[in-house]
A and B are shown apart, each in its own frame.
Chain A
Amino acid sequence: MASPSPKSPGQISDKSKKYDRQLRLWGDHGQTALESANVCLINATATGTEILKSLVLPGIGSFTIVDGALVSGEDAGNNFFLDHSKIGKPRAHVATQLLKELNSDVKGDYIEETCDQLLSNNPDFFCSFSVVIATGLTEKSLHSLSSNLWHNNVPLVVSVSYGFIGSIRLQVSEHCIIESHPDNLLEDLRLDKPFPGLKEFMDSIKLSEMNHKQFSHTPYLVLLYKALEIWNERHGPNPPLNYKEKEIFKNIIKNELGYGIAKEEDSNTGDEENVAEAIKAVNTALTKTQVPSNVQKILNDDQCIQLKEKNSFWIIARAVKEFVEKEGNGVLPLRGSLPDMTSDSQRYIALQNVYREQASKDAEHVWRHVQTILKERGWAGESVIENDVKLFCKHSSELRMIRGSCLAEELDGKQLPADVDINQQLEEPDSPWLHYLLLRAVNKFHTENGSYPGYYDDNVETDISKLKGCFSRLLNDLGCQGGSLSKDDNLHEMCRYGAAELHAVAAFIGGCAAQEVIKLITKQYVPLDNTFIFNSVTTTTATLRL
């Protein structure tokens, strides 16, 4: 952790009180990252200001709004941060003022220019931002922006609210996560590969010399270990794998781990909580310790093997790889934590310390590898600090990496991802691919006609057939041989929307997109990879990889 949490009331800052509920999620170090970030919003649309709202409230460092438009009556009707009294005033300025009111810790700035103007007059403008958020851009502008940011390695989040449909496209070349906070993380117990300290601890415990009280207060991990010894003696080195084997194993726990003293006189034999916990844990605690595939992928990545850049994540990843190949004997550094279990305090804490000490030893090995790597390459030592290595080791089984794709290339692309059978997708009434293509088709319509289909009340009917043309040309461009595909209902619905930006859809997309920005900034939790579709007619969502 980068900064310690407060210890006493005197040390609790007002900030820490204000942000208490979120600090419990991303910690003080996540908050520090957020407070040092600066984001840029292109166009203060309803979707755009809703995104900024959920970034200003938790305390992002600063934001800049780029918008060349003036507040219209339509804007004041669907945007909480564009006051009707400011109709005709610059949108960037009005929105900045009202958003800044949300949080005095946050700096806000604005530029009354369009994205296109900035890109041509000052192409390096966007390089200084942690993340750029784009809303309300035409396909052409989006294309230029995307190329610029991809080239400059600045993450881009594109958000759209169109009638009852919304979408988010995340463009990031590479994003590595140490603290992914998985919901279901397997415990790292190493019963199948006990390290010396664990073996020593377990061997020092003699169940047969215990009375009932001592036995029933023994951590279930000990019971599993002892049962596994019996099992291995009879059945070889593999732990019980299938249902039948696990039943046999459970019977060993139940019947063969008897304690020695005064067994007969004890009335409550058989309902020990630790025995029940051990039996329950048979399914999860005995799984083979191995490097998870998501981590293996990172350790085998070119970045890890070549190590051309002086990047803290990849340097430590490389050091972990060397640990796995040498001291680790094929497994990751130990996490060093234990689940809670029925036990007396003394033995639980002792067991916990056994795991902690080993985790600390493993992290020291990795730290030494880091130093060697830095030395070999002539890189300065300060680029990696020991605490980062400890954090990395603790979370080494939950590492994640995202390699994104460039939006401009997607828009230029002549085909959809190879694994997508678009004809089959379009057979389904609510396929997210259909909505992805419909959103592309309305952009194509705009490129060709200068307005969105159904924007004007008088043109709805004629726009339906024009949009149909756009849609089938788009399919052809993408190499889909589906000329006969009829999606009239959906095309009609898109024309009904007429580019309406409904506030509640904007608010939904805004909340989602804001959290993606926070993930990118804090490098905690796993961002979207890479296109999100929200259909509020069916209240369903989907993620597509483009």
Chain B
Amino acid sequence: MSTTNWNGRWFHLRKVLERGGPLAHPDFQASNETLDFLLENCKVLVVGAGGLGCELLKNLALMGFRQIHVIDMDTIDVSNLNRQFLFRHSDVGKPKAKVAANFINERIPLANVTPYYAKIQDYDQDFYAGFHVVVCGLDSIIARRWINGMLISLLTYEDGELDPSSVIPLVDGGTEGFKGNVRVILPGMNACIECTLDLFPPQINFPLCTIAHTPRLPEHCIEYARLLQWPKENPFGEEIPIDGDDPNHISWIYEKALQRANEYGILGVTYRLAQGVVKHIIPAVASTNAVVAAACALEVFKLASSCAPKLDNYMVFNDTDGIYTYTYAAERNESCVACSQIPKDLVFDENVRLSEVMEHLSTTYQMKSPGVTTTDQQGRNRTLYLPNVSSIEERTRPNLKKTLKELGLKDGAQLIVADVTSPNSIEFHLKLHASMDT
């Protein structure tokens, strides 16, 4: 018996991997090869090394996975320590992915966790295509959409038929307070993140006129200090943005908000609330992370081994009143901008302005800052609007006020839209019709 592969180490896993059962997945064949596959070959990517990520690494390593890769661009903050259990006080400021990977590799013999202290956007298709399963523990919707788009971009089709070997399953977990969700996405085969974007709660933004003229809530006062007073007074120097982790910054906002609240007789401005509003803090607790990450790890295990049927395809969790879950099959959006094979049309009147098209992209497809390019008859690219590079933004801004007709766009023109929510540009076909008004 070696010190790394001791007797009984995989006792529990062997029961379900080396024994068949009437309830196992129909494709399942009990054998000792499955465990070997998990141990030696199965490559799993964990996206995020935070609340869910730490749990996922532990769960996967104890469920027989060794070739685990973890990517996270964040460093450790004190407020992570109430749930991100691989981090200690002395780790504050260090990269999450590295500390988490080290911890697992030290604690679990032969675990081979490879950390990437990087952004998901730093890697390309070659990198992502190398995994058997990707599991996400993210708090950012944009990052989820990007990963989703990346895995969809890896799909290959032959005569319109999806090649199943190009499908990399995506297991996605999310939490907020005592609520959570787990889903299994088989890109191109079932509902993807974009198919069900409406499941994400909308971010609450207070109307600027309320903040400026008719504050009623403590949040309105905090937003007043943040959005209107800070840029005007620059309390920590010109052009110094608010750092939500700097207590002096939060204090300044808190004091200003409190003053305003007192003027109006509004109660309830606290330092904690100020920080919560400024940083858009989502409450989090160890238990929910543990539950959601465990369910995600179970799905990775079932997908990789077929020893039991996978989740089809969405489970919500809430333990505020007893323990409640609901499991259902989220439906594909047949015209999904990310995963459907149907050409995407944009239907507009030729007298519509480009700004309205941009507005449509933001609302209908929930894009964040889309850039639009078209191809002319000679096949040359022409940028219509590009918000992210200031020199080009300046040059293309006048286009926003022009109508599609004035921009010389014809029926059938191709519009190529790029956005942070997707790694690849999305191609739309413009369907123009003549104005009804004239």
Contact = CB atoms under 8 A, between A and B. Distances in A.
B8 A72 contact: yes
Contact of B15 (A22, A163, A340): A163
A532 B323 contact: yes
A261 B3 CA distance: 88
B178 A541 contact: no
Given A57-B83, A503-B12, A512-B323, A23 B295 contact: no
B283 A526 contact: no
B289 A183 contact: no
Contacts of B20: 496
Contacts of B298: 502, 504-505, 508, 536, 539
Interface in B266-293: 266, 270-272, 275-276, 281-291, 293
A196 to B, nearest CB: 22
Contact of B214 (A8, A76, A345): A345
B13 A500 contact: yes
A515 B321 contact: no
Contacts of B270: 5-7
B352 interface: no
A77 B320 contact: no
A58 interface: yes
Interface string A501-521: 111111110111011101000
Contact of A539 (B7, B11, B83, B295): B295
Contact of B264 (A168, A349, A488): A349
A25 B290 contact: no
A74 B12 contact: yes
B217 A340 contact: yes
Contact of A50 (B283, B290, B311): B290
Interface in B94-149: 107-109
Nearest to B217: A340
Interface string B202-213: 000000001000
A504 B63 contact: yes
A8 B287 contact: no
B276 to A, nearest CB: 7
Interface in A516-542: 516, 518, 525-529, 532, 536-541
B22 A54 contact: no
Contacts of B19: 454, 460, 496, 498
B321 to A, nearest CB: 4
Given A9-B271, A21-B83, A504 B59 contact: yes
A129 interface: no
Interface in B214-236: 214-217
Contacts of A541: 323-325
A511 B288 contact: yes
Contacts of A505: 294, 298
A23 B287 contact: no
Interface string A25-45: 100000000000000000000
B295 to A, nearest CB: 6
A6 B9 contact: no
A57 B327 CA distance: 29
B58 interface: yes
A518 to B, nearest CB: 7
Contacts of A256: none
A49 to B, nearest CB: 11
Given A50-B290, A502-B16, A489 B59 contact: no
Contacts of B284: 21-22
Contacts of A528: 322-323
A241 B5 CA distance: 70
A20 interface: yes
Interface string B158-184: 000000000000000000011000100
A212 interface: no
Contacts of B254: 8
Interface string B288-309: 1111011101110100000011
A539 B58 contact: no
Kindly name the residue among A84, A180, A217, A532 whose own CB sees the greatest number of chain B CB atoms within 10 A. A84
Contacts of A102: 85
A111 B216 CA distance: 56
A217 B214 CA distance: 9
Given A344-B214, A497-B16, A58 B286 contact: yes
Kindly name the residue among B79, B107, B291 whose own CB sees the greatest number of chain A CB atoms within 10 A. B291
Nearest to B104: A80
Contacts of B318: 183
Contacts of A289: none
Interface string B46-75: 000000000100110011000000000000
B322 A529 contact: yes
A353 B178 CA distance: 32
Nearest to B55: A507
A164 interface: yes
A18 interface: yes
Contacts of B272: 5-6, 20, 23-24
Contacts of B286: 22, 53-54, 57-58, 511, 514
A461 B348 CA distance: 68
A430 to B, nearest CB: 10
Interface string B305-340: 000110100010011111111010000000000000
Interface string A149-169: 000000000000001100010
Nearest to B20: A496
Nearest to B216: A348
Contact of B295 (A83, A85, A506, A508): A508
Nearest to B309: A537
B8 A73 contact: yes
Contacts of A478: none
B388 interface: no
A482 to B, nearest CB: 20
Interface stretch (B244-252, B363-371, B395-403, B428-436): B244-252
Given A7-B271, A9-B251, A504-B59, 13 more contacts: A18-B78, A24-B283, A25-B285, A57-B286, A76-B9, A80-B108, A345-B214, A348-B214, A349-B216, A349-B266, A492-B22, A537-B23, A543-B324
Interface of B: 3-4, 6-13, 15-16, 19-23, 55, 58-59, 62-63, 78-79, 81-83, 85, 88-89, 107-109, 177-178, 182, 210, 214-217, 247-248, 250-251, 254, 264-266, 270-272, 275-276, 281-291, 293-295, 297-299, 301, 308-309, 311, 315, 318-325, 327
Interface of A: 5-9, 11-12, 14, 17-25, 50, 53-54, 57-59, 72-74, 76-80, 83-85, 87, 101-104, 163-164, 168, 180-183, 217, 340-346, 348-349, 352-353, 454, 460, 488-490, 492-493, 496-498, 500-508, 510-512, 514-516, 518, 525-529, 532, 536-541, 543
23 contacts: A9-B271, A18-B79, A24-B281, A25-B285, A53-B290, A57-B82, A57-B83, A77-B9, A77-B62, A80-B62, A163-B15, A182-B320, A344-B214, A345-B215, A489-B22, A497-B16, A501-B12, A503-B62, A504-B295, A512-B287, A512-B291, A539-B299, A539-B311
Q: Which 3 A-B pairs have the closest CB atoms?
A: A73-B8, A511-B290, A9-B247
